[in-house]
Structure formats: C-alpha cells, structure tokens
Amino acid sequence: MNVRFRVAGVCLALAVLSGLVLLLVRPSLDPARIRPLPLLIGAWTAFLAAAWLLRKVPLRASVLLILLGGIAVQVAALSAPPQNSNDLYRYIWDGRVQAAGIDPYRYVPAASQLAGLRDEFLWHPGARYCVPASYAAAHPAADLSPGCTAINRPTVPTIYPPVAEAYFLGVHYLPSADDSTTPIQSAAALAAVLTAAGLLLGLRRLGSDMRMAALWAWCPTVALEAGNSAHVDVVAVGITAAALLVLATARTTSRTVVGGLLLGVAIATKLTPVLTLPGALRRRWVPVTVAASAAVTAVYLPHVLMIGGKVIGFLPGYLQQEGYRNGTRFGIIGLAVTGWLAIAASVLILAAVALAVLLFADPGRPWQGAMVMTSAALAVATPHYQWYALLLVMLVALDGRPEWLAFAAGGYYAAEPGMGQFTVPSQLHDAVAYGVPVLVVAAGWLVRRGLARRAAAAQEPLAAAEQTAAAPVRA
C-alpha cells in the first residue's frame, strides 16, 4: 500500500477514534438510547486499525502521528466532565485540605473540622453523596457535619498514597483548580502524553520499534481514564515506565539505584506498580529492593510521624467493600471455589506467577515479566474498575504484543451493564470479561509459537546448503 494512503488511513482512523471518544464523554449521552459498549467497540476497532496501518509508515512521520494523535484523543476526552468515575472530586478535595495545612489522612471529608473548606462546587444540595443529619447524630464519635457532596465515600478517609497526595496538592495551585474539573483532567492528559513521549525515547534507546508507543498513546483506555476521568494511575504508570526503562539499560549500581527509587515513587503514587517488582528484581535485586523501599519509607514517614496508623487510609475498608476480604470478588476462581478457599487459591496463583517471573523473566526486558504479573493479577482479581489496566497498556507498548490489550478491553465489559453507574457485575459476567482475554493471550502465544517454528523450519534447508557449500572439497 502506498505510504500516503497509509498515512491518510491512520489519520482517518484517529479522526474516527477521537469522534467516538467525544461521544463517549458527552453528558447528554442517553444510555437508554445509545449503549456505551458499541461505541467502545468502535473506538477499539479504530484504534487497532490505526496501529496496524502505522506499521509501514516511515519512522519520522510515525513519531509525529503518535504524538499528535495522542494529544487529539486526550483533548477529546477532557472536553467534558468525567462520565465513568467521580474519583477526581476526592483528588480536588485532598488538594484543598493540604493547601489549608491539614494532613489529608487526618479527617474524613464530612468531618466537622473541615466544614470551613466546603464550597458550592464540591458540596451542594442535590449532590450524589449525602451525610444526613440523622446519620451524623447517630455517630457522634465521628464528629460529622451533615451535607451532600460530589465526593464519593465522604465518611471514610482517603485511600491514595503520599506521592499521589503531593500531586493533588500541586494541581490545586493551577488556575480554576478549586472550582472546575478541567485542570486536573488536563494534568492527567498531560501525564499521558508525556508518558507517550517517554516511551518513544525509551524504545529508540532500546533499539525497538518506536511505533509501539502508539499502543499507549492512542488506546481508548488511556484517553477515557486519563483525559476524562483523570485517574492518578496515569501518573504512577508514567513513573513506572521511567523506572523500568532505567533498570533495563542500567549497567552500574548507581543507575540501578535510580531505577529502584523511581519504582518506589511509583508504588507510593498508586499501589499497582508493585506488580512490576518480580520482573524488576531479576537484575541486581538487592539495590532495587533497598532503593524502592527507601523511597516508599521516605514519603510515608512524615505522615506516620504526624498521624500514625491513619496513613493506611481506606485501604482495608476498600478491600472489604469490594469483596476481596471475604472471597466473593474473584470472578474466575469463584466459579470453582468461594470464601477463604478463593482467597487462598488467588494467593497461591499470584505467588506462583511471581516466582516464575522472578526466576525466568528476561532481566533486560523487565516489562515482560511485569506484563505477565499484571495480567495474572487482573485475571485473578477481576476488578470492575477499567482504569486498573492502565499499567498493563504501558507494558504492552514496551513489549509490542497487542493481544495482551484484551485485558484492558475486558475491563470495560466488566463495567457493563450500566457502565458509569457503578453497578457491580455478576460473577459470571466478570469471568467472561477476564476469561476471554486469557484465551486471547493463549491464542496469540500459540500463533506466535507456530510462526516461529515455521520460520525456523524454513531456515533449516538454507543453513544446510550453506554448511555444504562451506565444507572442504576432498580430491
């Protein structure tokens, strides 16, 4: 196919993708008339078509298309308030609390001590989450002030680690950050684009195909969960990418320490990057472990000294609420066992995968082991929060095997029906959402293995002929 036609095809596919993202984030979208799932399928189809056409586009043009396309889908996503998550209102609140000189882990949003920080943007009659006066009166020890807010779970402490809280504080000082979602959406979109740029630079240094960065830059998950929902995960993913690239190219202990420090900072932004540790520890595990632990300790210590154990936040309650502590959340495993048996099976499976990665992963490509570990965690935990797959999308962009993106697409299916209404899917629904990606990855592995064997078989006659030609001729 002519290069110009390929470039035109990429541009057309990106235009379709951006248009579908615009539709998906429209507040006026009526789920009763237009289901989001078909629009998502269209967006994923346009994304994969654009990535496929990009393969034969010259490198310089590809880099430009990756960056411009990444910016386009992020701009489309942040053109409307968040549609599938309201977590960013907690981000805005936590930034405001810190700007007032208060530790974000000390009080819950509905605490009477924070009543003076309320405004019409986050606290107003008719908002979704209310603390009735009767509830406040029934829990006098909590010292709550009644009111309705856009912040979900206003009676529980924040769950976000210290580096994330520092990010929220930084965004707080942007113009209009206190009364609009646009600044924090823009910050997340910028983080996504910067991650794409970092992937381009990293892939070039590794000698890999820079076009693989499109798998991150154009992915619908990245557009919707960064530019629209503004999930802090995108910041953690960007730092994780930097950490893995540094570790992959480290030839000295000092460089390894830098990679470990970055990985610790990523874990202290969102806990999910801890899944990359088994792959990262394959090379110089002692300095990586020490550096990552030091980074996590350094950012947690000031909060621990101020408020003690409160720094753990809502994490235990979250695990209970989501069904992980009683064993009801595990969609695939739950088809066979439930309760404590499901918890035990989950722990054993993840421990086995982690050990296999630790023993056999390529230390020069730590993202491969991280990709396996993250996918295993998604398949075991079957979360109905699609933004948990952002880490996996970045790892796929580094590795270049797009079939693993099926887990990211499956996250949206897990959120159906009623996507955006925070309904918990049935266990069978979760099993389908994450079981199909397992089959897709297995099929991809079989296809790649078959192609490799065929290529090796095709090379055997040529190698034999070369060996015969090189043999000495005896008289």
Quote the pLDDT of residue 437: 96
- pTM for the predicted model, two decimal places: 0.93
Distance CA 303, CA 69 (A): 40
pLDDT number for residue 38: 86
Task: Give 302's pLDDT tier (boundaries 50, 70, 90).
Answer: very high
Q: What's the whole-number mean pLDDT along residues 118-146?
A: 94
Q: What percent of the chain has pLDDT over 90?
A: 81
- 3-class DSSP state for residue 445? helix
At residue 421, the pLDDT reads 41
Q: How confident is the model at residue 284 (pLDDT cuts 50, 70, 90)?
A: confident
What are the structural domain ranges in the chain?
A: 1-82+181-227, 87-172
- Is residue 172 pLDDT above 50, yes or no? yes
If you search the block for the tokens 């390929």, which residue do you land on? 6
More confident call, 475 vs 239? 239
464: confidence class by pLDDT, cuts 50, 70, 90: low
Rounded to an integer, the average pLDDT of 26-39 is: 68
> What pLDDT does residue 425 have?
47
Phi then psi for 284, rounded to 5 degrees? 55, 65
pLDDT of residue 468: 64
327 token code pair: 């064993």
- How does pLDDT run across 378-401, given as a tens digit for each residue? 999 999 899 999 999 999 999 999
385-422 burial code (b ≥16 CB/10 A, e <16): bbbbbbbbbbbbbbbebbbbbbbbbbbbbbbbeebbee
Residue 473 has pLDDT above 80, yes or no: no
**b/e map 56-85, b = 16+ CB within 10 Å:** ebeeeebbebbbebbbbbbbbbbbbebbbb
Measuring CA to CA, which residue among 75, 428, 411, 368 is closest to residue 244?
A: 368
For residue 452, the model assigns a pLDDT of 81
Give pLDDT, residue 469. Answer: 59
Give the whole-angstrom CA distance, residue 160 versus residue 313. 8
> In whole angstroms, what is the distance from residue 405 CA to residue 434 CA?
11
Lowest model confidence (mean pLDDT) among 264-273, 282-291, 348-357, 421-430: 421-430
Separation CA 235–CA 448 (nearest Å) = 33
| Local confidence band at 328 (pLDDT 50, 70, 90 cut-offs) | confident
The mean predicted confidence, pLDDT, of the chain is 92
Predicted pLDDT at 419: 47
Could you tell me if 218 and 47 are in contact, meaning their C-beta atoms sit under 8 angstroms apart?
Answer: yes
Confidence category of residue 424, pLDDT binned at 50, 70, 90: very low
User: What is the reported pLDDT for 188?
Assistant: 98
- Which of 175-184, 235-244, 428-437 has the largest mean confidence? 235-244
Which range (90-94, 243-247, 334-338) has the least confidence? 334-338
